[in-house]
Amino acid sequence: MKVIRPLILALAIAGGFFYFTTWRSNSQVGGLHPSTWLSHPAQVEITEAAPGESLDGEEQNNISVYKKNIPSVVNVTSRAMTFDFFYGLVPQEGQGSGFVIDKDGHILTNYHVIAEARQVEVTLHNRKKYKATVVGTDPPHDLAVIQIKAPDLIPAVLGDSRNLQVGQKVYAIGNPFGLAGTMTRGIVSSIRPVREPNGATIDEAIQTDAAINPGNSGGPLMNWHGEVIGINTMILSNANQSAGIGFAIPINTAKAVLNDLMTLGRVRRPALGVRTIPISPELADEIGLPADYGLLIIQVTPGGSADSAGLHAGTERAYLGNTAIMLGGDLIVAIDDQKVQDEDDLSQMMNNHRAGDTVKITIFRSKKKMDVSVALGEARQQV
């Protein structure tokens, strides 16, 4: 009996504690007594935004650029064959973007989007699909032109990438991760040379923080007016997705080779037909040149463009370190009034031209400054 009484008392205390701390509060919260808080209003009242909220100027421009360009942007699907682990052929599919450049169905995209493809298919904004033919490729510039036969195509407007400024607003439209018709916005972050994964260099690549992801390759980068100023081509990221650093090929680089791509299927690389060395202020002072920058011609290719135009190579043997060079040749300081300081400048200017173009080359011959017109020839290799 002495043992049972304390046990009964303990159970009573525990039961009372449970009632007041757990069961009673859960019953009230859990809706066992809803009459204390639940109401049934005759009409539900919510807070709504005012109808017809007007868009600001920036939003209106965003919408205008999108509506203007989305009919021109396409999805490009390429199908190729590759080998599996057991060296068996298996199909492989890749996706990218592109944009219509004329009513004949020519579409500009990246070379790496359609490289080694056995079949290329284009999906328009209206979701209609067409088989595409590869018309021309330019692997060094990562450019390609494909063509479809489709009615009522709307070409994109090609702008000018020469005078882009860091800070300009830009738009990218494409199909990232297969999400068709996606537009992102950013600014021009920088203009710089960039080396692509295949080893090719993009001169004056447009760096942007507009989100560019896999699937955007080949799509247009546009300015505030909706004009195409670049072709989105690559991102700098460890995660294979946008990290705020994307790059586009300047549209002027593409415009310089479009005629060749569409008529010949390849690009006739222009060349001066010279070998040169870059001139620094120290070297110019040492050998007595009239300018402290430029490219000194040490050899002219017989029968080449420079030879035909009358440019002179050096005739006096000298040594630059352990390398024999020829001094006394013409000093190139500008092409079409643009300053030339090294081989990169020359290469960039050649990329903006094609074989057959005539350029004005400013040189120093001895102490005399003069302009010479040179018809660019076709290079068998990059110059």
- Give the residue numbers annotated as catalytic, written as ranges: 112, 142, 217
Within 10 angstroms of residue 106's Cβ, the number of other Cβ atoms is 20
Among residues 352, 138, 171, which one has the least CA distance to residue 256? Answer: 352
Phi first, then psi, for residue 342 (nearest 5°) are: -155, 180
Angle at 164 between CA 374 and CA 106, to 5 degrees: 70
Return d(Cα 188, Cα 204) in angstroms, integer. Answer: 12
Return d(Cα 253, Cα 349) in angstroms, integer. Answer: 10
Return d(Cα 101, Cα 34) in angstroms, integer. Answer: 68
Within 10 angstroms of residue 369's Cβ, the number of other Cβ atoms is 14
| DSSP assignments along 323-359, one per residue | EEEEES--EEEEETTEE--SHHHHHHHHHT--TT-EE
Beta strand pairing call for 143-147 and 377-378: unpaired
